[in-house]
Amino acid sequence: MGIILRLDRVMADRKMSLNELAEKVGISNVNLSNLKTGKVKAIRFSTLEAICDVLECQPGDILEYKRDED
């Protein structure tokens, strides 16, 4: 399973829309949407830092690791 993105949950807790967060972070709606839905393979630390700054959260609030069960 690997890394699970919880960005949608944190955004809902903060009552922040995708458009509002994208504008405040300075990335496109499409890139943020891809991040939110887990369609990305990587994220820049600068982007993660900006998201955490705007949402007033820690990276661990957005990212979770789940070990694959074999």
Residue-wise pLDDT for 13-66, tens only, equals 999 999 999 999 999 999 999 999 889 889 999 999 999 999 999 999 999 999
In the chain, % helix, strand, coil (3-state, to 5) comes to 55, 10, 35
Tell which CATH classification among 1.10.10.350, 3.30.450.40, 1.10.260.40, 3.30.70.20 matches the domain 2-58: 1.10.260.40
CA atoms 35, 39, 40, 41: torsion sign = positive
The pLDDT score that the predictor gives to residue 1 is: 58
For 46-61, write each residue's pLDDT tens digit: 999 999 999 999 999 9
- CB-based contacts of 33: which residues, under 8 Å, 6+ apart? 18
The pLDDT score that the predictor gives to residue 38 is: 86
Work out the angle at residue 45's Cα, subtended by the Cα atoms of residues 34 and 30, and round it to the nearest 5 degrees: 20
